[in-house]
Amino acid sequence: MTGAAVATREAYGKALAALGETRDDIVVLDADLSGSTKTKAFGQAHPERFFNMGVAEANMIGTASGLASTGLTVFASSFAMFAAGKAFEQVRQEVALPDANVKICASHAGITTGEDGASHQVLEDIALMRVLPNMTVIVPADGRETELAIAAVAEHKGPCYVRLSRMKTPISTPEGYTFEIGRIATLRDGTDVTLAASGVCVHEALAAAELLATQGFSARVLNVSTIKPLDVETLAAASRETGRLVTIEEHQIAGGVGSAIAEALSEVAPCPIRRLGMRDRFGESGDGAALMEHFGLTAPHIAKAAMELIAEALP
């Protein structure tokens, strides 16, 4: 858990600019938020392949699909609330349905969007995107994984939704880390409980594992960065070998990462699961880190939930 803290949106901007230097088929669209989504660097370096679509997210998605139909690899960015929420019909009809080669990279997702408040803290986007046929859904854990994930989705043919954060978070993935679409990475092994987290919550899960170790418990930590397709094999092994799971996400627990995991394991390797996330409520305005604490998504809360789950299963 070392390395400078960086927001995954910043790493996205860096990765996108690097792609633009090596691939002339990359085209980038933004809905008048390029300073915030960090696509601005690509636009400055490659203005002929960058299009500011204005505050018109639906039009941006439709245009992205049209460009993709000509053989281009298209990245489209806005805040997650707008890309997944306002433009859902266009994402469904013009990207998912025709299996268009469009990469929707949405920033400012989850409660760590912070002071912008409940109207902008989208907590439903994973549920919206993972239900769509043909859509790949990715939530990188940190800056290092984001750069690797963006390179991977650029090579992947078909629609992708990449969820990015506003808040800076420490590097959780190790040196030499590799990313593969559809693979869950085991960041720490353990035998008593599995902590399955995504996005900015991965760092907190690793810290929770350290706290559990001081209490004599061994926690496995999974980085569930690809939500769809889900790595059911790794999850099933964790279920069978540790006997219980805690899932952690800054998203509604209904339809999110915890739901995806519970659905999958119910068919192949059921076990007791505790889902941590937003429970049928909206967020609040405040500092992102303070909101993580307020809503019970920090390491002490995760460790407490894990110990309660272990205690429930003990004879």
Neighbours of 315 (CB within 10 A): 2
Same domain membership, residue 151 and residue 20: yes
Is position 141 within any domain?
yes
Q: What is the pLDDT of residue 314?
A: 65
Are 134 and 276 contained in the same domain?
A: no
Judge whether residue 37 has pLDDT over 90.
yes
Spot the catalytic one: 57, 124, 249, 250: 57
Structure tokens at 157: 């043919």
Whether the predicted pLDDT of 95 surpasses 90? yes
- Whether 138 and 204 map to the same domain: the answer is no
Residue 107 has pLDDT above 50, yes or no: yes
pLDDT digit string (tens) for 199-240? 999 999 999 999 999 999 999 999 999 999 999 999 999 999
Output the domain CATH number for residue 80: 3.40.50.970
Q: Residue 137: inside a domain, yes or no?
A: yes
CB atoms closer than 10 angstroms to residue 35: 11
User: Are both 272 and 157 inside the same structural domain?
Assistant: no
Start-to-end CA span in the chain (Å):
35
Provide the domain count of the chain.
Answer: 2
User: What was the pLDDT predicted at 256?
Assistant: 97
Do 148 and 270 lie in one domain? The reply is no
Q: Is pLDDT above 60 for 2?
A: no
Percent of the chain at pLDDT > 90 equals 97
> Are 119 and 243 contained in the same domain?
no
The residue among 264, 196, 217, 259 whose CA lies nearest residue 236 is 264
- The pLDDT of residue 4: 80
Q: What is the pLDDT of residue 313?
A: 64
Q: What's the pLDDT tens digit per position in 284-312?
A: 999 999 999 999 999 999 999 999 999 98
Residue numbers of the domain that contains 65: 8-163
Concerning whether 57 is annotated as a catalytic residue, the answer is yes
Q: Is the distance from CB of 51 to CB of 75 less than 8 angstroms?
A: no
Residue 1 has pLDDT above 60, yes or no: no
Q: Across all residues in the chain, what is the average pLDDT?
A: 96
Global pTM? 0.96
Q: Are residues 12 and 143 in the same domain?
A: yes
Whether 199 and 119 map to the same domain: the answer is: no
Give the C-alpha separation, 243 to 227, whole Å: 21
Residues 42 and 119 in one domain: yes
Residue 201 lies in a domain: yes
Residues 132 and 276 in one domain: no
| Rounded distance between C-alpha atoms, residue 162 and residue 108, angstroms | 11
- Mean pLDDT score, 153-181: 97
**41-89 tens-digit pLDDT:** 999 999 999 999 999 999 999 999 999 999 999 999 999 999 999 999 9
Question: Do 269 and 155 have their domain in common?
Answer: no
- Tokens, residue 290: 């303070």
281 and 196 inside one domain: yes
- Boundary of a domain, candidates 132, 163, 194: 163
**Which pLDDT belongs to residue 262?**
98
Average pLDDT of span 255-272:
97
Report yes or no on 75 lying in a domain: yes
